[in-house]
Structure 1
Amino acid sequence: MDQSQMDTLILKMNQAFIVRTEEIKEEFSKQTHALTENFNKTMGTTIDEKLNPLMEENNILKQEVLFLKEKIHNLEKTAKKNNIILHGVEEREENHSNLMEVVLKTLNDMSKAAKIEDFDKWEISETFRLGRKDNKKKRPILIKLTLTWRRLAILQNNKHFPDNVYATEDFPKDVLQVRKELKAAQQDEIKKGNLAIICYDKLIIKKNKPGKSQDKRKRSPTKTPENIQLNREGDSLTAPNKINRANKLEFTSRYRTNTLSETQTPKN
């Protein structure tokens, strides 16, 4: 075999090797793609099988958490329904017993001014100051009452407390935050002329009817009748004679009588 034949053989072998290499690469790529698809499908199915129960359990836990939050909120609301917070009372008491006396005196001073029943000790189950003691501030007093209607009586007679002393409701922290956020919206509605009231954690708005005046109508002053005459002799006012107005029933009765008489009169 000469050199030219040898070169030709080597060239053919190289070409065959290249072709075979490409075939192997293509086969390997197909197998890799098939393995990848199979792996993804298998893993996706496996993940879904394991993840779905976890997601369902997570949803159940979320619902339970919401239910428990609502239950805690209702319990806290019920626990605070007979509470009030008294603001502006001087902090001079030395112990809890003195604080009870201060609270009773403040409430009874208000009840006398409002002309309602005085408060007794049995109507107050507990009293204590809120927050840390600060000589520069008057800490509010939390009062737990035994009767709901007495709490309402206090809130309705706030104006009868001394100056700078007033009572407020005892709201949960989340409700206080909501009411604080609603305050700005309430002021905006009031500026528009609407009636806006914050009821617990909701803003109730009553729209003002267009064209309706907000000012109360005042009664026009009564004018003196022009036909009142002055009696010169006695310098006294004399009212004019009353105008006799026909009684409707009497007029009707007379009309019927006359008509009946005419019908019964024989003709000539």
Structure 2
Amino acid sequence: MDKNMELLLLKIDEKLEKQAEKITHSVNINVMEILDEKLKTITEENNILKNKVSELERKLKSVDREKRKNNLVLFGLEETGKSEGELIDYIKELISDTGVCLDSHEINSINVKEDYSKEILEKRKQLQPQLEEEKKKGNIAYIKYDKLIVLNPKNNNREKRKRETSDSPKSSALKKTTKHQTVTFQKTYDCIGKSEKFPQRLVPAGSIDHYPLTARRHKTLNIATLNSRTLRTEESLHELEKALEDINWDILGISEMRRLGEKIEERTDYILFQKGEVPGQGVGFIIKQSLKQQIHELIGLSDRIAILNIVIPGYKKLWTIIQCYSPTEQASKIESQLFYHELSKTITRYSNNHIILMGDFNAQVGAKQCKEEYVLGNYGQGKRSAHGEVLVEFLLQHNLTLLNSMYKKNQKNRWTWISPDGSTKNEIEYITTNYPKAFTDTSVIAKFNFNTNHRMVRSKINIEPPKKSRKYFSPCNIKHHSKETIKKIKQSLIQSTEELTTSNTDTNVKYGKLENILTNVKVKQIRAKKVNINLVIQPYNS
């Protein structure tokens, strides 16, 4: 019986083991099938992503090849200039000698590399981490050919000893006396006080210079205008921020911002104001944070006109800065007339203030054509367009001086717009004002690292207002006229002014006629008679 029970138990164990194997096998097969199904989807997605990445890499390589086709590789050039701008000018001169026209805006970047073999370039790459470690330690380190050179920093505080030349005994005795004299002077000067500086001029020992020499510096405020072409994205705005770090500016008026809506944004370094109604246009201002307290108001009239009322230190009146963007010459006459009508309204509204009108006028003013154009300076250049005639009449109407023509500049540094093909260059951005005495300079910034085909125009305002000259009338030069002559002058002037008001002519013609009338009026001058008084002194007879 015992043997039979043992056999039964063995058979039951075998059956159980077989059943367990079958169950595990079936479970494994089911699990593997499920995993295979899931892995298939993952592998398929992975293959799709790999194909996309390979396509993108291929496209990037093709784009890189296309870009490299536009590159010019020049070997064996000597670096004559220290800055990148000087290097660009040097390369432009070399290329222009070959007969090829090239402008600085067509040069995106310059990479200067030395000519080494592949083995030396690999060694230099391996030495780069060691170079950075040595610089972090404070040592002077640089790579020369294929070796790392490390130098300890010199102690600048260490005094350099000078070797004294050997002279005769008499000269050495004289030296001793001069040394003694200098020591006594230092001792007498020390009694004045350590906080006081050494006098700039020669004064007696122990005394103070009561009238020290002071260098007077004129503080100026930089106001500029720029057509940015677009500031729609944050990337373009960040690019403008980086470009502005290299120049002096305080207030910047912008045309073609292409940012919709009216908004004031306060950022870390500046305040941004924008006004845009139609996509593709828009004007605004960028003002430094240091002038935040001086801002009176910011107004956006339209996507072509924006106003900034600001208090400039040293001036009693407010300054009204108007940034505008005029219609192009391809626009209709009605559009340009509406623009100038709205602009004249704003100027008459703020006529009591000091006005600055600036922006992109899309007009070529050119040189001064006659004396009547007193709002233009003597340094204008070029021809005048139809829009330029309209602008000159507008400036004469509102007594606004064109600051671009008031200062003598090189012809290369006058144009503010260049065509996409680089064939034409025109001056279409201007800064005008009704108070030109406050300005010290107006110039075009040629080197401005920003992606636009326009140049920035910048004017400098003297913070200290100009002194008013006192008029002096000498009593001997005063001319006396009779009542009859004064009546005749009044009658002739009244008749001439009535004729001018009734005639429909331009302001330039009216001004010329009035000047001729005043010069042709003949007045009989009656000179004041001089009375001579002779004093006769007789001797006293006792």
Please state which band the TM-score falls in when normalised by the shorter chain.
Answer: 0.3 to 0.5
| TM-score, with structure 2 as normaliser | 0.20
* Bigger Rg, structure 1 or 2: 1
Relative contact order, CA 8 A, sep 6+: which one is greater? 1
Q: Could you say which structure has the higher helix fraction?
A: 1
